[in-house]
Structure 1
Amino acid sequence: MSTMELKKEGAVYILSLTNGAKANTFTEDIINEYNSVFDELEASQDNAALVITSTDPKFWSNGINLEWIVTKPSSYWFQFGCLLDKLYLRLALLNMPTIGCLNGHTYAGAAILAAAFDFRLMRADRGFFCYPEVDINIPFTPVMQQILKLLPDHQAVAELALTGRRIGGEEALKMKIVSAIYPEETLFPKALEMAQFLAQKNRKTYTIIKRGMRSNLVSLQQNLPGA
């Protein structure tokens, strides 16, 4: 069963997460779906941009599906962490502008994925952003640590990561986790407007600049197992 839908509006790709009943959480199959989408996007040639949003008004994504992962042997957890690392790096280095339209709760592994976007917009009136790993005993991998460093205010990130505190849109804006916040009815139109602007940029030049600014991630990607 597909848990996401990709469509294109003009030069903007819109990936809608459609598994709200499971809070758009990650399993191996869902990571494979993301990778299939990224394969398609990377293979495209024209100037473009990507927006990832959710069809569920409550959840953007809650990260790893904990009910699913606890059914796996402990030996699998490392393997799954590697799959997540590869996913985060693919989004962070994707060869087009990327925008996270965070229209619902964004927790844990999904909040790490959100950090990999070039830009993040969040709903102003509802939804929390949270790194609860310190409270659920799941430490960040070295790759995850580097993804978090993409967020501009490192002290704010440290506070969130070390306390597990959740924040709403207004505080996320003050802490520079997101670029802007909007009411529910204007959030996606604003994300689309920003994506349409960024899609006018020369894709090759944009990608060279982005990857140059994230050269440490390029090295990490090249040295991952199975890269």
Structure 2
Amino acid sequence: MSSRPHEYSTITVERRNNGVAILTLNRPDALHALNSAMANELVRQFSDWVVDTNLRCIVITASGFRAFCVGADLKERNRLDENGVRRQHALFRLFLTIRQNLDVPVIAAVQGVALGGGTEIALASDIVLAADSAEFGLPEIGLGIMPGLGGTQFLPRITGRSRALEMMLTGERINAEEALECGIVSRIFPREELLSRALESAEQIAGMPPLAVRSIRRAVQLGGELDLNSGLAYELALHQRLMASEDGAEGVRAFVEKRPPTWRNR
């Protein structure tokens, strides 16, 4: 973990003592569009978090209420040549790769419009909470391109093939209620309450035994890509490892002794 906080121009990061971190996208004048500077800062911050052994949960949100993130900054992209566009997109993909390999739950608190890469950041999160005014969409087809930060892979796994293709081939936006119905969002709150509710969930997760949190997340993420029998075998292996852990024994002792457990992450 870095000994000093970084100074960022496009994001802000707040670290709480309970192991929860809040990352806020902060380009309100551009509706938090992803540009090269933001990509570099996201890569830098998530790279720090990879080696942060005290981190327990991350909440991603954006400043203001109008937008969560409207995807790539097309004004910047229009100034780049072909190689520049590819380098920029490689940065976006690097952020996604680091985030996917970070063994810490991520909650997206989507308080406004999420389009393109903004929706993909949400789809790549473990839990998505939305304000009642939130909107989601993958409108890249209207620009003659396609989703490039995992949208074609994440969305069908959540909504099913037909609904995902309908959204991506028409470029339609859906509101928070529709996103809830098709599984993109797990809960909806009034926008004034969204961040506090997201932090409540993050703090609850942060208080759980870290080994069990990581194991459950791995079983869902990786097991979901396996056939059922292989997924069950993977679950069993993780379960048996937890049963033999110090935290597994502590959980049973604390229950029998009717006291709060003390988790040691081992």
Give the TM-score category using the shorter length. 0.7 to 0.9
**Selected match of 1:32 from 25, 40, 47:** 40
What's the TM-score once normalised by structure 2's chain length? 0.74
Shift of 1:182: 0.7
Shift of 1:59: 0.9
Tell me which structure has the larger Cα radius of gyration.
2
**Selected match of 2:25 from 7, 17, 25:** 17
Shift of 1:201: 3.1
- Of 171-180 and 79-88, the range deviating more from structure 2: 79-88
* Mapped partners of 1:175, 1:51: distance in 2: 22
For the 8 Å contact 1:13–1:49, the answer to whether it is kept is yes
User: Helix, strand or coil for the counterpart of 1:35?
Assistant: helix
Aligned AA (1:76):
G
Shift of 1:56: 1.6
What's the TM-score once normalised by structure 1's chain length? 0.86
Q: Relative to 1, partners in 2 of residues 1:209 and 1:79: Cα closer, same or farther, differing over 3 Å?
A: farther
Structure 2 gap segments, 5+ residues each: 1-7, 226-266
* Mapped partners of 1:209, 1:127: distance in 2: 28
* Mapped partners of 1:151, 1:128: distance in 2: 17
**Selected match of 2:63 from 51, 55, 64:** 55
Alignment pair present for 1:198 and 2:205: yes
For the 8 Å contact 1:47–1:96, the answer to whether it is kept is yes
Alignment pair present for 1:168 and 2:170: no
* Mapped partners of 1:119, 1:145: distance in 2: 19
Shift of 1:162: 1.6
Alignment pair present for 1:90 and 2:98: yes
Q: Relative to 1, partners in 2 of residues 1:142 and 1:115: Cα closer, same or farther, differing over 3 Å?
A: closer
Q: Report 1:1-227 matches (<5 A).
A: 2-9=9-16, 10-46=18-54, 48-124=56-132, 126-141=133-148, 143-215=150-222
For the 8 Å contact 1:31–1:87, the answer to whether it is kept is yes
Runs of 4 or more consecutive aligned structure 1 residues displaced over 6 Å after TM superposition: none
Shift of 1:149: 4.4
User: Helix, strand or coil for the counterpart of 1:87?
Assistant: helix
Aligned AA (2:177):
E
* Mapped partners of 1:18, 1:56: distance in 2: 9
Structure 1 gap segments, 5+ residues each: 219-227
- Of 146-155 and 96-105, the range deviating more from structure 2: 146-155
For the 8 Å contact 2:96–2:149, the answer to whether it is kept is no
* Mapped partners of 1:147, 1:83: distance in 2: 19
Give per-residue Cα distances to partners, 1:21-61, cap 9 Å, x unaligned: 11111111111101111122222112510001111210111
For the 8 Å contact 2:120–2:149, the answer to whether it is kept is no
Q: Which has the higher contact order (CA 8 A, sep 6+)?
A: 1
Aligned AA (2:29):
A
